[in-house]
């Protein structure tokens, strides 16, 4: 998968979901959260590869050899950026933040 394809998937997902994926405690972001929500990285994890013990692990840990996202490890900087946007930026700023990431990574924004 190319960085552009990753960006397109994550942008479309986050813009349509328009909510942060959170654990039941309402404090911690989750790859798979309450109400079926998925974070920017969670949307890239195939359902058959997802395990609850992934929660709390940085995306970087899911990119190592043999992990479910190892096929995307070459794009680790972009994936880490997606995770920071989802976890740290206010939801209302996601559009702007993702568009800025597209520019920074030389991608075509929506």
DSSP 11-66: HHHHHHH-S--B-TTSSSB-SB-GGG-B-TTGGGS-GGG--GGGTTS-HHHHSSTT
Q: Structural domain boundaries of the chain?
A: 3-104
Which neighbouring-strand residues pair with 38?
32
For the stretch 39-52, pLDDT in tens is 999 999 999 889 88
Cβ neighbours of 29 (radius 10 Å): 20
Least confident segment among 30-34, 70-74, 97-101 = 70-74
């Amino acid at each position: 998968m190319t960085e552009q394809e990753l960006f397109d998937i994550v942008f479309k997902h986050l813009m349509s979901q328009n909510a942060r994926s959170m654990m039941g405690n309402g404090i911690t972001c989750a790859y798979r959260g309450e109400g079926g929500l998925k974070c920017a990285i969670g949307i890239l994890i195939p359902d058959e590869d997802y395990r609850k013990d992934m929660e709390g692990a940085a995306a970087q840990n899911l990119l190592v050899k043999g992990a479910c996202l190892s096929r995307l490890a070459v794009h680790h900087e972009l994936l880490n950026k997606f995770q920071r946007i989802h976890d740290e930026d206010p939801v209302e700023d996601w559009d702007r933040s993702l568009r800025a990431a597209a520019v920074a990574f030389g991608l075509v924004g929506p």
